[in-house]
Amino acid sequence: MLAGLVLAAALLFAAPPAQAFSLFGIHLWGEEETEASADDALPEPTRFTVELTVTPNPETGEVDEDLKARLERNSDLVTNQDSPVSGEAGVLALASGDFENMVGTLYTRGYYGGLVSVRIDGRPLSVVIEDPNPIQTRPIPVEVTVTPGPVFSLGKVDIRYKTPRAELQDMLPGAGDLGLVTGEPAFSEKVLTAEKRGLSALDDEGFPKARVADRQLSANHSANTLDVTLVFDSGREAFFGPVSVEGTERMDPVFIRSYANIPEGMRYDARILKRAETRLRDLGVFASLRVRPDDTIAADGTLPITITVSERPRRVFGFGASWSSNEGFGVEGYWRHRNLFGQAEKLQVSGSVGKIDTVNPEDLEYALRLAFEKPGAFGPTTSFTTSLAAVQEQPENYTSRSLSADAFFVKDFDETLSGRVGGEVYYANEEDVFGTNDYFIVGIPGYLTYDTRDDDLNPSSGIYAEAYVEPAIDALDTSPLVFSRFSAASYLGLDDANRFILAGRVATGTIYSDSLQDIPASRRFFLGGGGSVRGYAYKNIGPRIGDEVIGGRSFLQLNGELRTKLTDNIGAVGFVDAGAAFEQSLPDFSEPLQVGVGAGLRYFTPVGPLRLDVGVPLDPKENDPSFAIYVGLSQSF
């Protein structure tokens, strides 16, 4: 039998008795309370105990433990039972509030026929409230009993849109798209989510002032179903109006408007504003940023947009450190100017020193880099970057001293896809198993990047993929070269709270050349170490001449991790890495895959997780340790 219960919101509570009410010191209605005299005694701190009981499901005989946990989290009595309150009135206030909390929590899990009983000192709450006599028992005992009843399922779902654009009726999301599917559990939060999705869809189609015109939730207690009717009113259609900028100090407001790329006169689309905010935030020059439409659509249908910013300090420096049992200690630092000329031009000087615990100073590794970036150099979606670098590398297999210069045009196709293409000049003097050689490589590198990760340093969902190709020539002996590499990583949350994350990565690469010696050792493929196959010595996986790893012209690498959060700040990781490098330009599996396994801890900080990993090689070779330890910032991939 349809009970005809119409809920105006996700929660339904009994209205409290009318009481006196005042606002900002002005008495509005009810009996005005007089100010207590100085002689009135304050209520004594009063302790209480609480027992929360959830009755079992009559069909299964089991208690819904998830519901019980939610009830405990939402209970003011449970969360405050270790702290005394202000007299017995404080206990009664918590108990009254908990009645509403319990009913609301039942609705969130689809229990619309549940009962909540609150007893104080063995008597119903309503009786105690009306009793003028004080409660004698201390601590005051409170019993809360929740009888959930059956879980209601969604019955008839009716979604309607009132909009002046008739063609949208078939384009706007229906019940299923909004997450309201007949037969599924009727969680009240599903209705709230459906409303947000419906309004967001209208917002994306040019109706920024849409509203929920009608909401009807009717519980049928005989069928244990909840019928839902939602009526959305789109309001007036809007078009982007003029864009104004507020809060600038050294940034050029004209540049900000241009870089935001909000097309005046185009039909309003909330996604364009979100992209504009992301693009401006990625400039790295703003401490705070907000892109917001005005409250009112103008008479001509336009909606002005205001960009409000607060600028960060222009100059910044930073430093970091890393350590592994294979590679030793390393330090790095940088100085950056975020806004050279008022259009977010960046100049950065960075340097690093590795193997600083080495006995011989000549064995130090170092890098020095000068980089410049001009955002919006050729329109709002195309930037220009250039850099100079000097590097000395000295792994076990070779010594390389190099100078390089590059320049790139960077294009953002949308919020997930970007590309860059440019030119590179690379000079290196190297010593390895083939002797001492000089290289002078001129190339045209290109990159394509796809990124849907929710967080760069600690992703819990999404994909990150990058493809790279560079045709080049060694100007010293005219040897043709083609470098290429591809990698893809994916992240999947295994539970709603993302406390368990499955992460995987695959990477491969090839180099076309007449011979292996035509390729600088610093640009051949070596595996082993914290960035590839943990547990093995740094760059100790690859084809060999004798005991010397010479690097390869192709490689294959696989990484898998199971990440879990033990607490809000501490996490643990188990991992398996595998990889091999090959002498030929295509992986021919002439070298076996080397496998490393291990585990690690993570300490989550605002700038990313601190990482401690211990890796064990399953098939150690010459120079490989029995285990290796790695310390760094951010996840391993």
pLDDT digits (tens, 9 = 90+) for 576-594: 999 999 999 999 999 999 9
Q: What is 560-628 written as a DSSP string?
A: EEEEEESSSSEEEEEEEEEEEEESSSS----SPPEEEEEEEEEEEETTEEEEEEEEEESS--TT--S-E
**224: confidence class by pLDDT, cuts 50, 70, 90:** very high
Task: Please tell me whether residues 117 and 183 are part of one structural domain.
Answer: no
**5: confidence class by pLDDT, cuts 50, 70, 90:** very low
Cross-sheet strand order for the sheet of 302-311 = 239-246, 302-311, 286-293
On whether the CB atoms of residues 419 and 413 are closer than 8 A, the answer is yes
- Residues in contact with 113: Cβ distance below 8 Å, sequence separation at least 6, in sequence order: 149, 150, 152, 219, 221, 224
Q: Output the pLDDT for position 637.
A: 94
Domain contains 23: no
**630: confidence class by pLDDT, cuts 50, 70, 90:** very high
Helix axes 87-108, 188-204, angle to 10 degrees: 70
Bond before 132 cis per omega within 30 degrees: no
3-state secondary structure 314-348: CEEEEEEEEEECCCEEEEEEEEEECCCCCCCCEEE
SS3 assignment, position 258: helix
Task: Please tell me whether residues 620 and 481 are part of one structural domain.
Answer: yes
Task: Please tell me whether residues 223 and 324 are part of one structural domain.
Answer: no
* Residues facing residue 75 across a β-bridge: none
Domain count within the chain: 4
Domain contains 24: no
Q: Output the pLDDT for position 319.
A: 87
Name the nearest CA neighbour of 516 among 585, 468, 579.
Answer: 585
- Residues in contact with 23: Cβ distance below 8 Å, sequence separation at least 6, in sequence order: none
The span from the CA of 544 to the CA of 349, in Å, is 37
Domain contains 27: no
Helix axes 270-282, 188-204, angle to 10 degrees: 90
Which of the residue ranges 29-43, 228-242, 326-340, 618-632 would you say has the lowest mean pLDDT?
29-43
Residue 602 has pLDDT above 60, yes or no: yes
The highest-confidence range among 41-45, 328-332, 412-416, 460-464, by mean pLDDT, is 460-464
**323: confidence class by pLDDT, cuts 50, 70, 90:** confident
Task: Please tell me whether residues 220 and 251 are part of one structural domain.
Answer: no
Q: Output the pLDDT for position 11.
A: 33
Domain contains 33: no
Domain end, chosen from 183, 203, 233, is at: 233
Task: Please tell me whether residues 427 and 506 are part of one structural domain.
Answer: yes
Domain contains 442: yes
**40: confidence class by pLDDT, cuts 50, 70, 90:** low
Q: Output the pLDDT for position 1.
A: 38
Q: Output the pLDDT for position 590.
A: 92
Task: Please tell me whether residues 110 and 257 are part of one structural domain.
Answer: no
Domain end, chosen from 206, 233, 260, is at: 233
Q: Which domain holds residue 258?
A: 239-311
The span from the CA of 15 to the CA of 9, in Å, is 14
Per-residue pLDDT tens digits for 400-410? 999 999 999 99
The span from the CA of 86 to the CA of 251, in Å, is 54
Q: What are phi and psi of 37, to 5 degrees?
A: -75, 160
Helix runs in 470-572, H state only? none
Q: Output the pLDDT for position 502.
A: 98
Q: Output the pLDDT for position 159.
A: 97
Task: Please tell me whether residues 71 and 179 are part of one structural domain.
Answer: no
- The CATH number for 507's domain is 2.40.160.50
Task: Please tell me whether residues 295 and 320 are part of one structural domain.
Answer: no
Domain contains 469: yes
Better-scored residue on pLDDT, 323 or 537: 537
Which of the residue ranges 88-102, 258-272, 458-472 would you say has the lowest mean pLDDT?
88-102
Task: Please tell me whether residues 120 and 220 are part of one structural domain.
Answer: no
Q: Output the pLDDT for position 17.
A: 37
- Residues in contact with 584: Cβ distance below 8 Å, sequence separation at least 6, in sequence order: 552, 553, 554, 590
Task: Name the percent of the chain lying above pLDDT 70.
Answer: 93
Task: Please tell me whether residues 176 and 257 are part of one structural domain.
Answer: no
**42: confidence class by pLDDT, cuts 50, 70, 90:** low
Residue 15 has pLDDT above 50, yes or no: no
Give the angle 394-396-399 at the CA atoms, nearest 5°: 35
Per-residue pLDDT tens digits for 327-377? 778 899 999 999 999 999 999 999 999 988 776 777 889 999 999 999 999
Domain contains 206: yes
Domain contains 37: no
Give the tokens for residue 397: 């297999």
User: How confident is the prediction for the chain on average, in pLDDT?
Assistant: 91
On whether the CB atoms of residues 346 and 336 are closer than 8 A, the answer is yes
Task: Please tell me whether residues 470 and 532 are part of one structural domain.
Answer: yes
Name residue, tokens 């010479």: 550
Q: Output the pLDDT for position 43.
A: 74
Instruction: Output the CA–CA distances (angstroms, integers) from residue 74 to 54, 78, 142, 182, 210, in the order listed.
Output: 14, 8, 16, 28, 32
Which of the residue ranges 82-86, 211-215, 626-630 would you say has the lowest mean pLDDT?
82-86
The span from the CA of 65 to the CA of 81, in Å, is 21
Task: Please tell me whether residues 54 and 161 are part of one structural domain.
Answer: no
Helix axes 87-108, 65-74, angle to 10 degrees: 140
DSSP one-letter code for 297: -
Q: Output the pLDDT for position 360.
A: 77
Domain end, chosen from 282, 311, 340, is at: 311
- The CATH number for 198's domain is 3.10.20.310
Average pLDDT (182-192) is 95
Per-residue pLDDT tens digits for 386-400? 999 999 999 989 999
First-to-final CA distance of the chain: 57
